[in-house]
Amino acid sequence: MTNNKAINPYDSFRRMSEMWEKGFNGLLFQSIDNNGLIQMTKFGLDAHSRYIEILKKNSELMAGLMNISTKIDVANVAKLTLQTEEKIDLLEEHVWNLQENFTLAFEEQQKMLGELIETNKKMYLEWQKALVQLDQLTDIKKEFEAMKELLKEKQEPVLTSSK
């Protein structure tokens, strides 16, 4: 039999990549382990940080002189805008609550006025009935007085004749 091994080009590419990776890792570890390189990198980062701070201060100073807004100004405006929106939302809630309370109070007031009107109507009708009864009593009193007068008139002649 013949040896039918298929050659896979990806295997050779993978082996080559692993070799390169090991080589670069070794180079990086040697570089990182170098104390002089670390000191030089630290010095460069410190210098770069100071340069960035100076650049930031100068750009803010120039923006202030030229009346141009900076990143900090925009951030402050955004923060104030958010705070304002939150306060507006709270005020809207308060207004809605007040509207609901006024609506409820108005409905209660209307209900109470309706009950008051009904009570006044009933009292008026009762008053009218009382006036009618009072008129009737007045008429009865007048009739009673008239009867009393008639009785007096009839009793006087009897009294005068017995003397």
Give the tens place of pLDDT for each residue, 22-63.
998 988 888 777 788 788 889 999 999 999 999 999 988 888
* Domains of the chain, residue spans: 14-68
Q: Which alpha helices (DSSP H) does 33-70 contain, by range?
A: 35-65
Q: Which residues contact 68 (CB under 8 A, 6 or more apart)?
A: 62
* Cβ atoms of 72 and 60 closer than 8 Å: yes
Q: Give 7's pLDDT tier (boundaries 50, 70, 90).
A: confident
For 137, the token pair is 């009593």
Predicted model pTM: 0.44
- Cβ-based neighbour number of residue 18 at 10 Å: 10
* Cβ atoms of 70 and 60 closer than 8 Å: yes
For 88, the token pair is 């507006």
For 154, the token pair is 């009839």
